[in-house]
Every structure is written in structure tokens, then in C-alpha cells.
Structure 1
Amino acid sequence: MECIQRGIMKHRELYKKVKKTMVYTKFYGIKNMIHRNFDKYQVNEQWYSTWFEQNKVTQEEIKIQKQQRFVYEPVISILVPVYNTPQKYLQQMIESVCEQTYDKWELCIANANPENLEVQIILDEYKKKDSRIKVVDVPENLGIAQNTNKAYEISTGQYIALLDHDDMLATNALYEVVRTINEKNKSEVIYTDEDKISENSNEHFQPNFKPEFNLDLLRANNYICHLFVFKRSLIKESEPFREEYNGAQDYDLILRCTEQAENIAHISKILYHWRMHRQSTADNPASKLYAYDAGERALQAHLKRCGEVGRIEKLDDLGFYKIIYESKDNKDLVTTVIKSDGEINYLKKCINSLKEMDYENLQIIVVDMGNQSSKVEKYYQFLEGQGIQVVKGQKDSFPATINIIKKQIKGEYILLLSQYIEFQGKKDLEQLLANCQREKIGVVGARSYYRNHTIRHAGIGIGGEKFSYRLFEGLPNMCKGYMHREALQQELSAVSMECMMLRKSLLEQIDGFDDKLGDEFAAIDFCLRVKEKQYRVLYVPTVVMRYNASYDKERIEAKNITIMMQRWKNIYENQYGYSS
């Protein structure tokens, strides 16, 4: 009998997986479905399961946290809209709140189906046990936004936290939130890392380790998601959740809160467990298609409030967006400075791809870095006859040459390129410029791939024994990376000089490049100094280039690694990984 039951369970699981695959294939197409599954298995679930057990809060830490007192101890109101929640999930959600090591909280539940006696009995029992648990009955289901507003109406806390009716908080979640509020200048918005939890609550998987606040990434996807906590005073409306954004009401709220907040804090700990089951968006994004349309509308409203103009497009994967920003002035002169090693065929392809752009107001300067022959010399003369300036490289250094020829650069914006780069789209230059023109954007980089269709450049991260590393380099071009990060526009630590657009004013403001570091480190050092001036460094993956040379890597000198580690010690030690 037991064998028969196990067989039935296996067939049920197989049926669920096949059905889910069919749903995804319907919306993504076969090709994108294959790509999605390729990305999915980039995360070693067994590794995470072990890591989770080793890093979750210990009993000793729980004991200490319960005794801990803070200078500022706000009440945190946890809002939970409930509608026909399965009994075991509801109980586990409530228990996860009751077990918090920080005790100044209130759980505000809006029950949108009080006729469900099982749910009503559970809520009544918990209300009697703990006065911090409040329940308001909603006579009929008003939708998730209005139901959550009903929970908000009975809340009194200085901070508001959002929790779904079938999810769970880590035991130390609120403790870590309050500690962060005290340590980080009374942060107004706080968010944490999260993972998924199985139906039986026995498995933790798909961890989402998030970066520090990253506006462009938030515009590409609601990466903040859970756990999200905000200061009540940020939202002036009596009903903070807007009905017109049902399904994406939390995304709309997060966008509005982050617009207003001066202090936004990220807690790099897994403190929220998102339930994964058949009706859950976590397991089946296609189950709530209306939510992604609502998300697009919320994003458009956000851009309007911020005074930015852009066309929003949905990406193939549900819940992900790209914004095509409009150039403020498409007549701005852009000076393109191309590093040439004398490889004529590659240089021709690079220049031709520039000339094929829709953008015409372009000054092109070719920097001759040597290895010249009479054939190369003749080609340079031809270029000069075409109005393209050719200058000799200085000090055997491309960064040094850029510093020296600053006066010859006429454009307000500079595009640095390798001769091996070949743009793939006619609007690429316009997109780089439109992003570089945005307020407080200092540097913009793009995505490149090798001829064998593996990734060359998708931004640069800080960390490792060589100080930095290229994100996703060598992975198949179809790969979208961890949490889709390879495919999403976002702020990063640095981008490569092989395709880097920057403001000329910044080049002068921070005294150019450090020409003793070599191309790669000179670019990284420049980007980090730009960020010190409160400008942002953007990676724009919608601008795609082919890198026409074979795989090559600049030789990094050990002394330069030492220089970078000493110069940027604080960033290196505290920013391991590619969050910015």
C-alpha cells in the first residue's frame, strides 16, 4: 500500500512539472523556455540548503536578541491580507511573527472571507492568545490592494512591514530591521534578502541575494520585493495601496517610498521565506498576468513623477521590464575615441558600425597604439581624408592618451571604444547617450559577446584575489545570469573601457584616468572616483556589441592589484560580489 501511495505522489509531482512547463512554454516560447531552465540551474540548490542551515540564527543568538534593547524601539505594524488561506500556511505565518526576537510589533490582519470558518477559528484563537494580533473582517473580497488598506487602517506602528498570508519571517527578521534603523540614521526604507520555501516548509531554495539600493534595477524588476519595511510618515495617503495597481500594488508602493526616502537600507541576510505552491506567483508567474500589466502602469507613473521620459517594454520573462529613455537633445556632439592596435579589418567594422547609427553628430578620433605597417599607415591617411582624426598613442597607454588629448575632444560626451567592438543596433549610440544625459549618471557601459556567442562583458564586480572580475564572462550568450542580472539595466561598480560613455565635464572634474594602472584598472578606478562624486555608473544590456577578436585578457600586474586593494580598501572589503 505504501509503495502505491509513493507511486501516486511521484506521478502527481511529474504532472505538476509537466503542466507548469507547458504554461511557461505557452507564454515564453520554446527557445526562451530552454533559456529560462538553463539559468535556473545556475544556482546550486544543494549548496544553498547547506549554507542556509549553517547561517540561520542560532538558539544562543535568539536568547541574546530577546534581551537586547535599542535606543529607538519603534512599533512595527505587519500588514497581512487574508483570503481563504490554507490552514497550515496561515498558522505557520502567524507563528513566524509570534516567534520574533524583537517584541514591539503588531500583526494587522484583514480577513476578506470571514465566512470561511476554519480561517475565522484560527484567527480568533490567536487574537485571544496575543493582544498584538489584530483582525478586521472585510465583508467581501475587495482585491489585494483594498484588503491591505483595511489592515493598514487598524495599524498604529511607526514602521509598516508587508507579509503575504502564506509566507514566513525568519525569527530574527524584525530584530535585524530595528538594529538597522538604529545603526543607519533611522532608515526610512529597509529591505532584506529572501528565499523560497517548499509547500511542506522543509526545503529552502532559490535564494535572492540583493544589492544595495539600485534604482535602475528596481525599474527593471521589483528586486526589493520581500521583506519590505517603510516609515509610516513617507506615505501621506490614508490608503497607501492603490486599487488601480492590483497585483503590483507593492511595486507601486515601493517605487513611491523610495522616491521620498532619504535613507534606504539593505540588510544582506535571508529574513523572508516566500511560499512556493501551485497558486503562488513565486512558483507560477503566469498565474497572475494582470499583475505585470499593473506593474508596467506603476512604472510609467513613477517615471512621470520623477520627470523622466521613456518607453517601457516588457521583457520575455514575466515581471521584467526595459525602459527606452528619450534623449534630452539628440544634437549633442559625441566624441568617439577608438583604441587601435593596427588591426585594419576590425577597425573598419568598428567604424562602419558607428557610421550606420541613426545618430549623426559624431566626432571620431582613432588612437594609434603602435604595431604600424605601411598598409596601416595608408589606411589611417584614408580615414583622415574622411574627416576622422588619427592621433599617436602616448606613453604606450590608452588612458594616458585620453588625458593628453582632452583639448581635441569637442563633444560634451565621450565614447571610448576598442577597435574590436562592433555595434549591433542602429539606436545603440542614442541609447547610451540618453542614459548618460540622465541626472547624476556619470558613466554608461554596454554588453558584449565573443564570436563564439559567449559573454565577454556584462559589467565589472569588485572582489576576488585580483580585486575585480568581469560579470558572467564566458557563459553562453543566452544566459541571463543570476536573478536575470545579466539582462537587466542597473547600476554597477564599474564598466570596461572597451565601451564606456562618460561626461567630458567629469573627465576634467576628477582629473582624468590614472594612466599607470593599465586599461582595465584605469577604467575601474575612474568609475569608483565617479561614484565618490555621487554620480552613478550604469550597465545598459540593451546595447549589445560583438567583440570580434578571440578571447584575450589584459595582463594584470601584481603591483597594480596591490595599489587598487589599498586605494579602494573599504569598497573591496565591504562590497564583495557585484552589488553597488
Structure 2
Amino acid sequence: MQNEQVQEKMSLKKRVVKNWKTVLRVWRTGGFKLLKDLLVVKFVKRRPKDTQYTKWIKKNEKDVLKASALKENPLISVVIPVYNVSEKMLTECIESVFNQTYKNWQLCLADDASTWDCVKEVLANYEEHPQVKIVYRKENGHISQATNSALEAAEGEYVAFMDCDDTLSPNALYEVAKKINENPKYDFIYSDEDKIDEKGVKRFFPHFKAEWSPDTLMSMMYTSHLGVYRRSLVEEVGGLRTGFEGAQDYDLTLRVVEKTTEIGHIPKVLYHWRERKESTSANAMAKPYVLEAQKKAKEEALSRRGLKGEVVFDPDTVQFTVNYMPAEKPLISIIIPSKDNFFVYSRCVTSIVKRTSYPNYEIVTIDNGSDPKSKRKYENYCKKNNVKYVYKKETFNFSAMCNKGVANSKGELLLFLNDDTEVITRDWLERMAGQALLAHTGAVGAKLYYPKSKTIQHCGVINRPEGPSHILCQNEDDVVADFGRNRLCFNYAAVTGACLMIKRERFEQVGGFDESLPVAYNDVDLCFKLIEAGYYNTQRNDVHLYHYESLSRGQDNMDKEKFRRLVRERTALYDKHPTWKDRDPFFRFYYL
């Protein structure tokens, strides 16, 4: 025990000596009290019991201080608006910039007429540093004006935005510079992030983000921190705008991405967002004006883009959903494959007829060989309900049946629908059509529920290492999960073919459904092809249907032969799309 104490003291001494510059600077800034806090937090205080995320940090952040030489070393200006923040938090924020392994940085701070003496005392300690520029505003202008004041002092080719109570990982700017070296055309780069508690001790609630996802951004400010922008582009769009305080960075990002497609994501946690009771990192409702600013940012984005839409508040996620409203109502062809399943099929079509508010649609039913009795039922029902009925006896091939449905339809928009579904949302076609008609959209999916349990069956398909699967399947839907993935509109690798809408021209552009995949993964293959063609697949979680899953043909994993076929078709999928093996750009997996 005594030996352990000696080793602990030696370790403490080594850590203090190694970080002597930081210790000296903190002592000069805040005296003994602040130095004591630093020593306790950084060098002495034992960590709390490891959480799953703490274990992940230990495993995945071992080499954050290692940095290889870069061909180019662009100047990165870190821009920080400052207002009435504690000396401890401000010092930790500034020191996290000084502790960067990448050294070609500039720190631009703008004090927004703080009334706390400690702010000026802290800033005064850095005034003479050649890499630091400090602007003292005479009047308080709030965060947008203060940030713009700091921006005016920036000289870097790129600017990184930071709040005055947050911290950077030591490798943050190195990783940004490395990303720029990979593609010097990048105009906007964002990283993963997590939160830290008020004391700066505990890291928690990581946000592992997707690659660039335009519809996810319209749902929420998912790129958030760390956000790095080409300075000339920020100046081109007019910097941060007043009237958007609380969502000023969101408004800026929406304007920036309208000017560029050169967007990069760094899949590393580089930013630590401090959670305080009064901050939006703890609770978006802590600052109600933030919600109004978010709504305004989305409404103005729609206006700039020439799109008509309704911005609707979702109290569960404290976000706003955008319902796109096309100027015209094009014909939608609803294509339903079915065979010897009349009761289930008729329930599906009846729900469409009775619950659909969209006026311009047709229903095309493809029957691949019902027995004579069932065939008569289909024919009579379809005639009564003005449904086109196409019958040809042949081996089951879902892809071929859907393609045949397209050949026998007239709609500008195609909706592939399983016969074992039931419509819940009246304006389901309006919402899906508005999304499908956007220039960047590939396939559009809907949220499907199991009818008995009311749990989630589908709210997006993720590409797991073991193969494509439904995210949050069988989860309750009364709790917001994974940053709103069960409530908001997200981009995904794929959406299920059980309810999938797409523009006809895009369906034909990628060759429709692959008939060599007769049962499984044909929808995933279609979605992969759309992404490879430059489109984004989108999940509309505000469109709801019941799915009496596999009532038509049974579960594939419950039969040995069907399971073997499932494996064969999964292998064929990845043979066709080798770059998708063990990869999903729209969903981050983190394992210990």
C-alpha cells in the first residue's frame, strides 16, 4: 500500500512537470485557488466508475497525441465569443486551444461587454501572445454580433467556432488540418462530439455522427461541434445573422451548405460541449428563444431554396419537422404485389381508399398466380374499387412483380407497398411525395408498426457488419431514441420496400429492382444504387402504417432453406456493392 502511494506521488509529480506551462499560466490567471482546482481535476482526482463510453474512450483514444507531418499546414482561426463566464471555464477553454498538437492556429476572442471582472482578468493574461487576438466590444450585442467581431479579427483560411465554456480535444485541429490535406476543396468540416460536466471531469453522451446528410440537417443541427468553415465562404454568406441567437450556427450552416457540396466529416470526438443547467447542451427548453430561432432558420432556408413547406414543432424531440408541399399533385402509382392473400390485401386497399387525403393516385395490383377462387375475389374487388389488376402465374419474385407494376402504371411517383400493411396517417402520400420530389431524394420510407404491440417494425435500415437490418426494431415508440431517429426525418443507407416511394425517372435511372434478388435485399440494393448515383434515401418518421410483417410469405429466418437463400442473397448484395461491406456512412457503430 505504501509503495502504491509513493508511485502515485511520483506519477503526480511527473504529470505536473510535464504540463508546467499550463500550470504556470493557470496560476498567473487565477492564482492559487484556480491552480488548486486544476491540480485536483486534472492530476489528482480519481475517475468515477467507468461507464461504457469511458471504456470506449480508453480503447479508441490511446494515440490522440500522435501526429505525423502534414504536407500543408493551413492557418485555422479558432473563433470564440465571450460573455460572463467563470474564470475556470474560460481558462480551460483557452488552454484547450494552447494544448493543441497542431501549432498553426490563431485564437480570436471577442468579449461582448462582459460585466464580470474575472473575464477581463483572464483575457488580459493572453493579450500579448502572438497567436491571440482579443476584441473588447463596447456594447453587448449578443452571440451573433460578438462572433462576427471575432471573425473580423480572423486571418486563417479556415475558421473553427467554439463556445467560451467548452473545450477541444488535443488533436482537434490536427485532425481538421489532416482532413483538409485529404481534400483541399473542403468548405465545411464537422466532427463528432460529447459532453462534459460543469467541473470538466466527466465525459458523457457522445454524438457519433453520420456523413453528410442533408435531410437530417433540416431536422436538427446534427453537425454542431466542432464546425470548421472556409472563411471566405462564411464572409460570402454574410457571417452570423442577428435575430437567430441560439440557433445562429444552425442558420449559418444552412446557408453555407447551399453554396457548396464540399463537405467533410471527421469520425472522431474532437469537441467537448459543457453541460450547464442554463445551457442548451443540457436542455433546449432552457432558452425558449432558441426554438423560435430554429423555426425561423428553417423557414428562411425553404424560402431561399424556392421550396414550399410547413415547419411543425415536435415537443418530444424539441425540434421542428419540415413537411414539403409540392406546388402540383402528380399522379402516384401505388404498386401492391399479392397472391392468395385476399383478406389481408383487401384490408390494405380499404385503408388506402378510406384514409388517404391525397386526391391523385392509382392502385396497381400484381398477382403472380392466385388460385381460381382467390383470383375471382381479387378481380371483383379491384373492379369495384377502380384498381388495376394484372395477373400472370409465375414463380414468386418480388423484384419482378414490382418492375411489372411499374410497366403497368402511369404515375410520376411510384409507391411500392406490401399487401400486409394498413394506412394510419391520412396525409401520408402528401408527406412522402413532398420529400420524393426534392432534387436530391432517392427513396422515401415510412415508419411501420407491429399492430398488436404497437412497437416499431421499421424506421430506417442500417448496414450492420452482419448485414442490413431495421434500426430500433421492436422498440417502444413512446421514448425519443438516438437523437430522434424514431421521430425525425433522417437520411439512411436504405428504407424498407414494404412502403417505399420514388420518382419514376430515378427508379428507371438506376435500373429498377434487380430481379436476381427475388426475395430479400432487393430494396436495399435499390437504395444502394440510388446513393451511388448521388441521391439520398430519406426516412419520414411522421408517416405511419401498420405492418403485419410476413403474413404473405412467412419469416425467412424460421425455415432452413429460406435462411440459406437469405444468406445467398446477402452475399450477392455485397458482391454487387463491395464498398458497402462493413460500412454505413449514415450510421455510426461504436463497440468496445
Regarding TM over 0.5, the answer is yes
Name the CA distance, whole Å, in 2 between partners of 1:282 and 1:164: 11
- Please tell me whether the aligned partners of residues 493 and 528 of structure 1 are also in contact (alpha carbons under 8 angstroms): yes
Name the CA distance, whole Å, in 2 between partners of 1:495 and 1:238: 35
Name the CA distance, whole Å, in 2 between partners of 1:576 and 1:359: 34
Task: Supply the AA of the counterpart residue of 2:408.
Answer: Q
Distance 1:518 1:238, change over 3 A: closer
Name the CA distance, whole Å, in 2 between partners of 1:572 and 1:124: 54
Q: Does residue 46 of structure 1 match 2:56? A: no
Partner-residue secondary structure (3-state), 1:245: coil
Distance apart, 1:348 and its partner CA: 2.0
In the TM superposition, 1:208-227 aligns within 5 A as 208-227=207-226
Distance apart, 1:546 and its partner CA: 1.1
Distance apart, 1:56 and its partner CA: 2.0
- Please tell me whether the aligned partners of residues 54 and 203 of structure 2 are also in contact (alpha carbons under 8 angstroms): yes
Task: Tell me the equivalent position of 1:240.
Answer: 239
- Please tell me whether the aligned partners of residues 458 and 472 of structure 1 are also in contact (alpha carbons under 8 angstroms): yes
- Please tell me whether the aligned partners of residues 338 and 418 of structure 1 are also in contact (alpha carbons under 8 angstroms): yes
In the TM superposition, 1:398-417 aligns within 5 A as 398-417=398-417
Distance apart, 1:174 and its partner CA: 0.4
Name the CA distance, whole Å, in 1 between partners of 2:189 and 2:165: 21
- Please tell me whether the aligned partners of residues 403 and 513 of structure 1 are also in contact (alpha carbons under 8 angstroms): yes
Task: Tell me the equivalent position of 2:459.
Answer: 458
- Please tell me whether the aligned partners of residues 111 and 137 of structure 1 are also in contact (alpha carbons under 8 angstroms): yes
Distance apart, 1:237 and its partner CA: 5.2
Q: Deviations over 1:143-166 (max 9, x none)?
A: 111111111111111111110010
Distance 1:560 1:407, change over 3 A: closer
Partner-residue secondary structure (3-state), 2:474: coil
- Please tell me whether the aligned partners of residues 285 and 318 of structure 1 are also in contact (alpha carbons under 8 angstroms): no
Greater mean alpha carbon deviation, residues 543-552 or residues 357-366? 543-552
Task: Supply the AA of the counterpart residue of 1:532.
Answer: E
Task: Tell me the equivalent position of 1:34.
Answer: none
Task: Tell me the equivalent position of 1:323.
Answer: 322
Task: Tell me the equivalent position of 1:558.
Answer: 567
Task: Tell me the equivalent position of 1:12.
Answer: none
* TM-score between both structures, scaled by the size of structure 1: 0.87
- Please tell me whether the aligned partners of residues 366 and 404 of structure 2 are also in contact (alpha carbons under 8 angstroms): no
Partner-residue secondary structure (3-state), 1:190: strand
Distance apart, 1:57 and its partner CA: 4.7
Name the CA distance, whole Å, in 1 between partners of 2:123 and 2:52: 37
Partner-residue secondary structure (3-state), 2:173: helix
Task: Tell me the equivalent position of 1:23.
Answer: none
Distance apart, 1:390 and its partner CA: 2.0
Q: Deviations over 1:368-391 (max 9, x none)?
A: 245646256334333234321222
Distance apart, 1:220 and its partner CA: 0.6
Partner-residue secondary structure (3-state), 1:51: helix
Distance 1:570 1:245, change over 3 A: same
Distance apart, 1:577 and its partner CA: 6.6
Distance 1:385 1:469, change over 3 A: same
Distance 1:493 1:200, change over 3 A: same
Q: Where do 5+ consecutive residues of structure 1 fail to align?
A: 1-43
Distance 1:217 1:133, change over 3 A: same
Task: Tell me the equivalent position of 2:508.
Answer: 508
Partner-residue secondary structure (3-state), 1:235: helix
Distance 1:45 1:336, change over 3 A: farther
Q: Where do 5+ consecutive residues of structure 2 fail to align?
A: 1-48, 558-562
Task: Supply the AA of the counterpart residue of 2:223.
Answer: I
Distance apart, 1:520 and its partner CA: 3.5
Task: Supply the AA of the counterpart residue of 2:350.
Answer: N
Distance apart, 1:313 and its partner CA: 1.0
Name the CA distance, whole Å, in 2 between partners of 1:434 and 1:237: 30
Q: Percent identity?
A: 31
Partner-residue secondary structure (3-state), 1:380: helix
Q: Does residue 179 of structure 1 match 2:188? A: no
Task: Tell me the equivalent position of 1:261.
Answer: 260
Q: Does residue 101 of structure 1 match 2:101? A: yes
In the TM superposition, 1:340-359 aligns within 5 A as 340-356=338-354, 357-359=356-358
Task: Supply the AA of the counterpart residue of 1:52.
Answer: I
Q: Deviations over 1:146-193 (max 9, x none)?
A: 111111111111111110010000000000001001102431100000
* TM-score between both structures, scaled by the size of structure 2: 0.85
Task: Supply the AA of the counterpart residue of 2:439.
Answer: E
Name the CA distance, whole Å, in 1 between partners of 2:261 and 2:434: 26
Name the CA distance, whole Å, in 1 between partners of 2:500 and 2:523: 9
- Please tell me whether the aligned partners of residues 106 and 155 of structure 1 are also in contact (alpha carbons under 8 angstroms): yes
Distance apart, 1:197 and its partner CA: 0.5
Task: Tell me the equivalent position of 2:37.
Answer: none
Task: Tell me the equivalent position of 2:157.
Answer: 158
Distance 1:488 1:335, change over 3 A: same
Name the CA distance, whole Å, in 2 between partners of 1:238 and 1:486: 33
- Please tell me whether the aligned partners of residues 45 and 205 of structure 1 are also in contact (alpha carbons under 8 angstroms): no
Task: Tell me the equivalent position of 1:282.
Answer: 281
Task: Tell me the equivalent position of 1:529.
Answer: 529
Task: Supply the AA of the counterpart residue of 2:458.
Answer: H
Task: Supply the AA of the counterpart residue of 2:417.
Answer: L
Name the CA distance, whole Å, in 2 between partners of 1:292 and 1:554: 45
Task: Tell me the equivalent position of 1:568.
Answer: 577
